Structure 1
Amino acid sequence: MTANDLKFVVPAAPCGDESETERIVRLLGCIPLLSGLTRDELARFARGVRMQTAGRGSVLFHRGDPCHGFYLLLEGQVKLAFTSSEGHEKVIEIVRPGQSFGEAVMFMDKPYIVMAQALADCRLLHVAKKVVFEEMDRDPLFCRRIIASLSQRLHLLIADVETYSLHTARERIIGYLLREEELDGSPTPSGSVSLRLPTSKGTIASRLNLTQEHFSRILHELAESGLIVVEGRTIHIPDIEKLRTTRAHY
């Protein structure tokens, strides 16, 4: 997903009465994956869509559960992760509003290979694989859109492998902070900025393939260098351009 996808905002409900189907159609029309579909096409989708809520800490599915469709996140955050035989958790992805997850396993007709857990109170749409397959049979353009989405996910996973293999822990963390600053709004060309980490430091550390201790140590080193100021989950960057330059020199 691109940075623009992550700026997804659930649209406000219109004035007057609105049926559940109309509400789902309206929400589906704002999802990047389904952009371009007509209202009639979205209405066909709505037949296989259900609204779902999940409280913070709730598990949406466990590794090994059967997959009956995919999810679209409207509000909140979801982590995709697996646990090693030693009990260590590895976070694969942190899903944000506007993103989808679960498509690849749906097409493989295999159980989930990761677990999905809500990091905050969430609202989601679950799309049954039956309606996805029906729409793919009906519309070649929709097939290409699905393939493009899966290809982009693969590209991001390859980029992750490159980052873990070739970049130091310090580079990974600086890169993460700069991406968060971009996702927080329009990129700041220079000057001071503040951003709030979207979830716990432990979860972010796992996503960056680091231990929480290593992550905290690097933050402390960056703070001692005057590049950041840490206040809990809020990170103040006195000079964003200096941080970008620091990353470029590694």
Structure 2
Amino acid sequence: MNPGTFDMQRLLSALPLFSALSPLERERVAQGCQLKRLARGDMFFRVGEACEAFHIVASGQIKLYVASPSGQEKVIEIIGPGRSFAEALVFLGQPHIVNAQALSDTLLVSVSKQAVLAEVERDPRFSLRLLAGISRRLHSLIQDVESYALHSGMQRLIGYLLRDVEGADAGSGNPISITVSLPASKATIASRLSLTPEYFSRVLHELEAQGLIQIDKREIRILDVHRLASFESH
């Protein structure tokens, strides 16, 4: 993707946060946006650095994480295309509380604090959309805390594999087979689920031995969605 020919308005119109804006309003926001290209492994920001914008992933992936003094990482979130991050800190005027690193070659759209605040002043409905996005992230984090506190490692991993297939037709009586592509390395996903890489791999192979999944590097084929969901409660 060539930033010189990138259609900023088209990207903004595809995002829920900006989709209800008029072309003129999106044009104003676009004037306050910058494209930033990161190579795999590049750091985007670190804990303590000033937050002057929030960001949207146009392509690629961003890992948000914290690190202990010994260097051990805890992955907070993996941000994929079309999703945004750091919105709340723009309003709080506080420095970043997590680190951000590119998991792959990534193109970001950074929306300046000034552009956001100017649109908020023009249209209160824009504020409500921002609040909705921040609330969804907060709800997701609360669900994570609940999962870590109340669910076993096995349940967390199965829940992660089934996160996008909750609406599968359970009444058909026929096995539903799907393939899930892990968006990052197994070690990164393990950290996201607060599991050790060794335990993560052990559980995957246990599920494979039970005939529930087949593993091909980052491709996980779920052989029967309903059996796997049922196994989660064992």
TM-score, length-scaled by structure 2: 0.92
Give the structure 2 partner of residue 4 of structure 1.
none
Q: Comparing 70-79 with 26-35, which one deviates more in the overlay?
A: 26-35
Give the structure 2 partner of residue 62 of structure 1.
46
Give the structure 2 partner of residue 243 of structure 1.
228
1:4-83 aligned within 5 A: 23-83=7-67
Partners of 2:168 and 2:106 lie apart in 1 by 27
Does the 8 Å contact 1:77/1:122 carry over to 2? yes
- The answer to whether 1:199 aligns with 2:220 is no
Does the 8 Å contact 1:188/1:240 carry over to 2? no
**1:112-167 per-position Cα deviation (integer Å, ceiling 9, x unaligned):** 01111111111111000001001101111001111111111111110000000000
Letter of the structure 2 residue corresponding to residue 79 of structure 1: K
- The answer to whether 1:87 aligns with 2:86 is no
- How far did residue 193 of structure 1 move? 2.1
Does the 8 Å contact 1:32/1:98 carry over to 2? no
Give the structure 2 partner of residue 234 of structure 1.
219
- How far did residue 188 of structure 1 move? 7.4
Give the structure 1 partner of residue 107 of structure 2.
123
Change in CA separation of 1:229 and 1:188 when aligned onto 2, cut-off 3 Å: farther
Partners of 1:56 and 1:187 lie apart in 2 by 35
Decide which of 149, 153, 158 is 1:169's aligned counterpart. Answer: 153
Segments of 5+ residues of structure 1 without an aligned counterpart are 1-9, 14-18
Q: SS of the counterpart of 2:163?
A: helix
Change in CA separation of 1:170 and 1:119 when aligned onto 2, cut-off 3 Å: same
- How far did residue 192 of structure 1 move? 2.2
**1:30-77 per-position Cα deviation (integer Å, ceiling 9, x unaligned):** 112211010000011011101111111111111111111100111111
- How far did residue 86 of structure 1 move? 2.2
Segments of 5+ residues of structure 2 without an aligned counterpart are none
- How far did residue 232 of structure 1 move? 1.6
Partners of 1:187 and 1:123 lie apart in 2 by 33
Does the 8 Å contact 1:73/1:98 carry over to 2? yes
Partners of 1:130 and 1:188 lie apart in 2 by 47
Does the 8 Å contact 1:60/1:118 carry over to 2? yes
- How far did residue 194 of structure 1 move? 2.1
- How far did residue 187 of structure 1 move? 5.0
Letter of the structure 1 residue corresponding to residue 208 of structure 2: A
Decide which of 201, 210, 234 is 2:195's aligned counterpart. Answer: 210
TM-score, length-scaled by structure 1: 0.86
Decide which of 118, 128, 131 is 1:147's aligned counterpart. Answer: 131
- How far did residue 210 of structure 1 move? 0.7
Aligned pairs, how many?
Answer: 229
Partners of 1:131 and 1:195 lie apart in 2 by 38
Q: SS of the counterpart of 1:242?
A: helix
1:178-197 aligned within 5 A: 178-179=162-163, 182=165, 190-197=175-182
Q: Comparing 164-173 with 195-204, which one deviates more in the overlay?
A: 195-204
Partners of 2:222 and 2:163 lie apart in 1 by 13
